[in-house]
Structure 1
Amino acid sequence: MNTQSEQRAPESADAYSTEGSYVHEGEEYTRDTAYIEDRITRDGRDGWPVEAGRYRLVAARACPWANRSIIVRRLLGLEDAISLGLPGPTHDARSWTFDLDPGGKDPVLGIERLQQAFFARFPDYPRGITVPAIVDVPSGGVVTNDFAQITLDFSTEWVDHHRPGAPALYPEDLREEIDTVNRRVYTEVNNGVYRCGFAGSQQAYEAAYDRLFTAVDWLEERLRTQRYFVGDTITEADVRLFTTLVRFDAVYHGHFKCNRSKLSELPVLSAYARDLFQTPGFGDTVDFVQIKRHYYIVHKDLNPTQIVPVGPDTAFWRTEHGRERLGGSPFGAGTAPGPVRPGEEVAPGHGA
């Protein structure tokens, strides 16, 4: 078993930034996908055993990758086991900051920047300071920022701390299919919108655009006759798709030039996304104000004026979707999560 001192950070020549460079002229956008791969498990094989109250999830509402972890934590009822730190929507080249908290410091970790948790464990950490990240509260050091694995481990390793009635988001009999669709959604949709937005040439942009909307058409057809992405209930696959869809009209359509059509113009996908948004655990984690501030202020190469759009009208998300006619039940044999915990609510006027 590795100890904390024996583990090493991934190697990279990247600067200390949250997402790395954005647009490189003449190049296709390529995401840096090397993360700290340590896992928090029941057997503690990486040196990080499941332990209620020990870890803090740091997850900015603005970020789609972090939004996933907030949704899954809430659906499974892990609020008492894993605390939540919420950086603000903007950052500089160094790090996400806790500028929304009193004194500009996370109240549990006592730090101003997430970067401090990465440096507490890896003083020469060479990669981007990304969210979501899980921090070991006693040591103040980051454990992992492997966003894809974090939510799977919430489902499979933290089962002893799930709320009664927690849904099965990663059921064993559907894992192969979930993994298959998740791979396509990640490459073509979740990351596909970024390939459009940060393309460094017309050719790269058009290729990314075609790939994205080929996948969008596939999703429209797949979801035409089934309420949820895989099986008859909400799974990890729905969570991963939702966080891109909910940002589509507010950001990706204009800011990233994904403008063949708005989500609201796609009859199947828009109804599917509204169905999820209106399900407890999804829409109540979405902060449209923070989402827009993040993309339009941080991405100065795409939006040098840093002007944040006023629209679109978010009332769309509360309109009727009609997806119940397709059958299925959002939580299967489980139940919906209860009210959002005090202190974790989306600010008034920031949702839909």
Structure 2
Amino acid sequence: MNFASDNWAGATPQVMAALVRANDGAAPAYGSDALTKRVTGLFAEVFETPVEIWFTATGTASNSLGLAALSRPGGVVFCAKDAHIQSDESGATEFQSGGMKLIDVTSPLGKVDAGTLAAALARHPDGGRSVPVALSLTNATEWGTVYSVAEVTELSRVARGRGLAVHMDGARFGNAVAALGVTPAEITWKAGVDFLSFGGTKNGCWAAEAIVCFKPGLFADMEQRRQRAGHTFSKARFVAAQFEAYLSDGNWLRWAGTANARAEQLRAGLRGNGAARLAWENAANEVFAVLPKAAIARVRDAGGSLYEWPAEGTGVSLGAGEEVVRLVTSWTTGEAEVARFLELVR
């Protein structure tokens, strides 16, 4: 019963098989191989538009390098209060950009509201000492919630009204697309997103992430920035191989859909549970629940894993002996695994 993180899950058989195939023979280095070029075309097919692609090893690299490429003196980036770039990346964006500042916006359940964003932008007028350069949205969010197409479109409208670029952190992008039932294009560039940190690692790949740019020429010096940051792959074909397996035949959305379905199985079981309850509703593969400490102990005694989540700032009221926990499902999570967990927390 692994509900600690989708990062704990391995790579899918299709991805592993693709890596083995890519290992046969020699190929040009640094992304000049035929497979990397073919995968760039595959990304364009998936997003229904020409794109520029830069592989990275981590989501932190994709986020920080993409945002840093927009940096200006006095530059600021607006994001959700609990955005990964703000809370979990050790100042990577500030470091890569030479000091660009992140400004968090009040974001209930992880989502920035267009009105709140407009109010935040008003505190940084044109000609001031700070220069707004970007809005960063996470989809799916760190709270397991998902931005709709309408929400992204409205946020992009507000951001572009002040000349901001729009970035989407898509560490769990597959889960968001699968939960929404829309096309990747509809939730990104058609809704006003300029570039995406496209994550594969949490959804069945092995160290395969990418910066996907929908606005050609936006990142004129990305090759140099990526090289300086140590994220230029000499054997890029091994990343390309993973993405070919990931994107082909809709695999990535099927794997994300499995994780989402298991998360919904968890939510359904917790809604009808007398001892435990959902902390809040969401739609992707992260479930937040309130459990008695005794139930948490039973899960761990049975070999299960989960992660306690701070209740402060969530609006959740806890009774004596209760904790908020995060439960993350993955492409490997089975129905029986979820059923066993629900039995233990009753």
Q: Higher helix proportion, which one? A: 2
What TM-score do the two structures reach when normalised by structure 2? 0.32
Higher Rg of the two aligned structures: 2
Which of 1 and 2 has higher RCO (CA within 8 Å, sep 6+)? 2
